[in-house]
Amino acid sequence: MAFPALMFTGVAPVSANATNTLALWVGVTASGGAYRNRLSISRRVMIPLMVTSVIGGLAGAFLLIKTPAQTFLKVMPWLMLGATLLFAFGKHLTGRIAAGISSDASRGAITGASVFELVVAVYGGYFGGGIGIMNLAMLAAMGMTDIHE
């Protein structure tokens, strides 16, 4: 992860986080393009998830800009712990809340998935570290099992 390396070299915490998140975004965009043919989710499901993802990411970035560096440093370990716990207990969550988001999902399931995505996107906009773990846990909890999708 580039974030600790940037901090070790003396880059300010918020700047190191923003740099790391931007680097992650480039990689995610490239891999998304590479696997676009594997995407089997309907527009009815994908569009609300994309909209909430963009809104949440922008909200998280705004929060990051407004957060003092010392507060960010105090919150960061808890964010990582939350992401790690969500990943560790993701299978347990999947068994309880998996709605099987698919093209025939109910409006309520899509709304629930969108709210879940909004929370994850705010996290990702605020702190890019661990966002991959958060996304995998969220998608697994929604019943998506193909990592390439």
pLDDT reading at 1 higher than 70: no
In the numeric block, which tokens belong to residue 67? 């957060």
> How much is the mean pLDDT over the chain?
80
Exposure class string for 4-23: b at 16+ Cβ within 10 A, else e: eebbeeebebbebbbebbee
Does the structure show a pLDDT above 70 at 146? no
Residue 149's pLDDT is what? 63
Q: How confident is the model at residue 96 (pLDDT cuts 50, 70, 90)?
A: very low
Type of residue at 73 = L
pTM of the model: 0.79
Percent of the chain with pLDDT over 70: 83
Tell the residue number behind the tokens 């939350």, with chain if given.
Answer: 82
Give the tens place of pLDDT for each residue, 49-80. 889 999 999 999 999 999 898 998 899 888 87
101-141 pLDDT, tens digit per residue, is 666 667 887 888 888 889 989 998 898 877 877 777 777 77
Confidence of residue 36 (pLDDT cuts 50, 70, 90): confident
**Residues counted in the chain:** 149
